[in-house]
Amino acid sequence: MSSIRARDREETKQLLIDAVGAVIEADGFGSVGVNKVAKAAGVDKALIYRYFGGFAQLLQAYGDQTDFWWTVEDILGDDLPDALPNAGGDNLAAWLSLIFERHVEFLRNHPVTLEIIAWEMSERNELTIALEYVREQRSLDLMKQLLARFGQTDRLDMVHFGPVMALLGAAGNYLAARGRHVQNFNGLDLKSDRGWQQLFHAVETMLLGLVQEKS
Amino acid sequence: MSSIRARDREETKQLLIDAVGAVIEADGFGSVGVNKVAKAAGVDKALIYRYFGGFAQLLQAYGDQTDFWWTVEDILGDDLPDALPNAGGDNLAAWLSLIFERHVEFLRNHPVTLEIIAWEMSERNELTIALEYVREQRSLDLMKQLLARFGQTDRLDMVHFGPVMALLGAAGNYLAARGRHVQNFNGLDLKSDRGWQQLFHAVETMLLGLVQEKS
DNA sequence: TTGACTAGTCACCGTATGGAGACTTATAAG
DNA sequence: CTTATAAGTCTCCATACGGTGACTAGTCAA
């Protein structure tokens, strides 16, 4: 029981920062607060104010230390688009399908990110605005890279490229976040890999059809 | 200033019930509580306990009085599927596209429903479970009706029907809820009708392609 | 050994919450 | 006119929140 930690400011700061993530993952973003975080860190809440200046700055520090969102490299992998010669014509559709899959897998492996997505639906403040700005930029980055490779040559009607990305991103976010607590959505099983495979398959088929539709 | 309402139990109950909706619409579901609702109703909060037994029952009464979700008739309109002779073959794709559009329009015209959708992302209790049960049933109802008309004749691969419905429903919910407070998502403008038209158009094209993809 | 510095503790404040009991007052029956 | 019932008001309570100031106690240099 002699949990007498040595007095160490930096270690205590890190304990607090880590506690933020732990509380979010355990109880969601909505119930994160100065009392709960301090208790989770095993530290007095007064230190939050002394070391960080306030709870908002602690959250800020947590955000700065954590990557909540994929980078373009995460999504495109080592096989950058130009590694695949742009021959087939439906390459972009295949890529979009793969991107959707990786997007969803990223979310399913990052519970804190799912909490943030859920939280952003009901709350809007400096922190959520900053986080959603990062995501929007990453998404636009990804789209720009895809357009640079496929924009002139692919048969997909580029008028639909943006809306389709939005549709897939929105559906992925919603279903992944919902799958945290709910089993089914519109008959789809969000808690089984099989349900997600069905979704991936349907998306792939739709995208291939979209390409061939190009007038 | 003599706002001396006559003493009327039923009227007061209704005032409270209506205040629930008003508070939700104004401040969101997360900040709904006994104090705020009573103040909005211009009534003492003790009456909530006397007339309803508790705040949960007041919410229950509000839920029973309000239709948060479309019915199959709302979505299919008077033109039931069998009113259109099943000639073209891509009728189902056209219907799905129309359904998506009506789904989104319903949401955009029902702010309280959007608040509930957002709220369900972070909270899960008896009330949210009851509400999402209703929606799931309505969605399955809709799908069953569509399958009954098109299941045997349409060229759409029925393996993909369920997942596609889930994808469209999820994207509609997410984008509509997000559009309450945020302007853009993946470059799509959620606050202008033009942005939504782009989305509808892209969805229509995708669905048509899906039909023609049937192997 | 002493004294300064600072990491960590503790008690407290103001506010808002959900909730209950005691009270006042309007109304309608006898 | 009297009186019981019920509508509506008021005060209070326990709890939890974010936040602050005073205090205790290790640590390290002189």
pLDDT at B200: 97
Q: Give yes or no for B126 touching A (CB within 8 A).
A: no
Q: How many CB pairs under 8 A join A and B?
A: 176
- Which of B59, B167, B126, B184 lies closest to A187 in space, CA to CA? B167
**Among partner residues A166, A182, A211, which is closest to B185 by beta-carbon distance?**
A166
More confident residue, A168 or A208: A168
- Separation of alpha carbons A43 and B104, rounded Å: 48
Q: Is a pLDDT exceeding 80 seen at residue B153?
A: no
- Cα–Cα nearest to A199, from A166, A180, A174, A181: A174
The token duo for A214 is: 């190009």
Residue B154, SS3 per DSSP: coil
3-state SS record for A143-208: HHHHHHHHCCCCCCCHHHHHHHHHHHHHHHHHHHHHCCCCCEECCEECCCHHHHHHHHHHHHHHHH
pLDDT (0 to 100) of residue A157 = 67
Binned at pLDDT 50, 70 and 90, residue B155 comes out as low
- Across the range A176-196, mean pLDDT stands at 97
- What is the model's pLDDT at position A172? 98
**CB contact, 8 Å: B158 with chain A?**
no
Q: What is the pLDDT of residues A74-116, one digit of tens each?
A: 999 876 655 455 444 457 888 999 999 999 999 999 999 999 9
Q: How far apart are the C-alpha atoms of A129 and A120, rounded to whole Å?
A: 9
Q: What is the mean pLDDT of residues B98-107?
A: 97
The average pLDDT across B95-115 equals: 97
Q: What is the pLDDT of residue B78?
A: 73
Q: Across residues B121-149, what is the average pLDDT?
A: 92
Give me the mean pLDDT over the A48-73 stretch.
96
What does the pLDDT read at residue A155?
Answer: 60
pLDDT for the residue A156:
61
For the stretch A1-25, pLDDT in tens is 334 567 889 999 999 999 999 999 9
pLDDT in tens, B46-58: 999 999 999 999 9
Put simply, whether B140 touches A (Cβ < 8 Å) is yes
Mapping DSSP to helix (H, G, I), strand (E, B) and coil, where does residue B185 land? strand
How high is the pLDDT of residue A22? 97
pLDDT above 90: percentage of residues in chain A: 73
Cβ–Cβ contacts within 10 Å for residue B63, how many? 17
Name the phi and psi angles at B188, rounded to 5: -85, 135
Band of the pLDDT at B214, cuts 50, 70, 90? very low
Residue B79, pLDDT score? 63
List B188's β-bridge partners, or say none.
Answer: B185
Q: Both ends of chain A: CA-CA distance in Å?
A: 73
Q: Cβ distance A31 to A23 under 8 Å?
A: yes
The more confident residue out of A196 and A8 is: A196
> What are B204's two structure tokens?
């229509």
Pairing of strands B184-185, B188-189: antiparallel
Which of A104, A112, A133 has its CA nearest to residue A196? A104
* DSSP result, B104-129: HHHHHT-HHHHHHHHHHHH--SHHHH
Q: How far apart are CA A174 and CA B174, in angstroms?
A: 6
A206 and B201 within 8 Å at the Cβ level: the answer is no
**What's the pLDDT score for residue B148?**
86
pLDDT of residue B23: 97
Identify the architecture of domain A9-65 in CATH: Orthogonal Bundle (1.10)
Collapsed DSSP state (helix, strand, coil) of residue A31: coil
Residue A214 has pLDDT above 80, yes or no: no
Q: How far in angstroms lies nucleotide C12's C1' from the CA of residue A44?
A: 15
Task: Compare CB distances from A187 to B124, B157, B162 and report the shortest one's residue.
Answer: B162
A122-131, B81-90, B103-112: which has the highest mean pLDDT? B103-112
